[in-house]
Structure 1
Amino acid sequence: MIKKSLAILTAGLLAAQLTPRAYAFNPAEQALQSPAEIMAAAEASDWRQVDSNNLMILTLESGAVYLEVNPLLAPKHVLRLRELAKSGFYKGLSMYRFVEGFVAQGGAGEQETDIAPLQQEFVSHTKQPLALDIKVNDNDGYAPRSGFINGFAVGQNEAGTQTWQLHCMGALGMARGNGVDSATSEFYVVIGHAPRYLDKNITVFGRVLAGMEHLQRLQRPGSKQTPFNPIIDLQFADQLAPEQRPKIRVMRTDSERFQALVAARKSRPEEWFVATPNYIDTCAMAVPSVIDD
């Protein structure tokens, strides 16, 4: 049984179109409130339930890490993780690589496997523009524009026909060798400052919703622990019995409430702030999540 608790994740934890809300308010007026006040006023329609098909649970010795995968932008990589998880491939392997402030990586490491390499999905190409739920920035140095789709921080070309997930803290990606189509099964999670220079160089296909602290507690290189950072299991929620499936809500990034939250994070209307640049880096804009008992 997976232990479930109630928690609202803040900026340290970073991220389908739903029916529009039946009521509306003015986000510009809400920006005069603090982020905490906006969150306190959130209603049920401001949230979406994470699909159990897309909820991945990485169980480590210290606890569970909950991640949401992103089939919209990287369906082949999501399918690969689903198939491997269902087969029990990761059970008993380890988080064998840990780089302080950068990445935690898990899988078979240097062990020989017969897993076929995947075709890269660095960027999703669409004939029609893929609409952002909200645009946060124009040209941040790495993307002509960036914002959110379905709770995931993304970058786009100016036409909106090329979309990729950003290497924000908490991003889930698939490690590869020198060949662009060489990824097989080794996954990683960004655990520090966003390494945006990796954008469009590696396939990113999900993000941490909760449990980042368990990745931060991993043994560092040189530890005498045996086995080293074992993976107890890696599963998808729909592979569990219904009563064991975690129930996690994510704030809808297409909601006016999230729009107001972005505006408040940019302007910081709280009395404490002296400098208010009216700007926020897209990776620094946390998408709130709630784990329900």
Structure 2
Amino acid sequence: MSDPENTLIFETTQGEVTIRLRPDLAPGHVDRIKTLVREGFYDGVVFHRVIEGFMAQGGDPTGTGTGGSKHPNLPAEFSAAPHKRGVCSMARSSNPNSANSQFFICFADSSFLDRQYTVWGEVTSGMENVDKFKRGEPVRDPDRIVKARIAADAAA
């Protein structure tokens, strides 16, 4: 682990998932993710929308796809980073500046999303656990983030 301050660990119902945060691509979004993790926001939150061959979406405390955090929406930080297997990106409405707390992890190449959604990280280990998430829109008895933490805070 090269940078504990930019390493996110999700303990999920299927096992651990480690994500390298990318403040070089999306500093505002990485800051938001870290704030939410440190507030305990993601603990217990489900992956409410999981589409085979596409992505697993979570980060909504209501589990419906319509919720967010108490923080304001974020301005887009689009980049040329490709949406490929393991990439973590922010979900949003049709408004490019509407990302808040919801995110998705790509199962496969989703290049049609490139430059339209904010990439903020990439799974470095545990992608096989993401692959085990139950599928659905919405998911019946969905998998969830049991506990989220930043590696630098491991002692906490």
Q: Same fold (TM over 0.5)?
A: yes
Structure 1 stretches of 4+ with a deviation exceeding 4 A read none
Unaligned stretches of 5+ residues in structure 2: none
Distance 1:117 1:181 in 2: 7
**Partners of 1:177 and 1:167 in 2: how far apart?**
18
Aligned to 1:190: 106
Amino acid at match of 2:133: L
Selected match of 1:215 from 130, 137, 142: 130
* Structure of greater Rg: 1
Q: Give the aligned residue type for 1:237.
A: A
User: Residue 59 of structure 1 aligns to a residue in which SS?
Assistant: strand
CA contact (8 A) 2:45 2:145 kept: yes
The equivalent of 1:116 in structure 2 is 72
Q: Provide structure 1 residue ranges, at least 5 long, that are not aligned to the other structure.
A: 1-48, 124-163, 243-293
Identity between Structure 1 and Structure 2 (%): 34
Which residue is equivalent to 2:20?
A: 68
Q: Which residue of 2 aligns with 1:289?
A: none
Between the two proteins, the alignment pairs up a number of residues equal to 151
Relative to structure 1, the CA distance from residue 186 to residue 223 in structure 2 (aligned partners, 3 Å threshold; closer, same or farther) is closer
- Distance apart, 1:113 and its partner CA: 4.2
Partner of 1:100: 52
Equivalent-residue separation in structure 2 for 1:205 and 1:119 (angstroms): 13
Q: Which amino acid aligns with 1:82?
A: K
1:167 matched to 2:119? The reply is no
Q: What is the CA RMSD across the aligned residues, in angstroms?
A: 1.6
Q: Are positions 1:178 and 2:134 aligned together?
A: no
Residue 212 of structure 1: how far off its partner (Å) = 0.6
Opposite residue 240 of structure 1, the aligned amino acid is A
Q: TM-score, normalised by structure 2?
A: 0.90
**TM-score with structure 1 length normalisation?**
0.49
Q: 1:88 Cα shift? A: 0.1
Question: Is the Cα–Cα contact under 8 Å of residues 69 and 78 in structure 1 kept in the other structure?
Answer: yes
Q: Distance in 2 between matches of 1:210 and 1:63?
A: 11
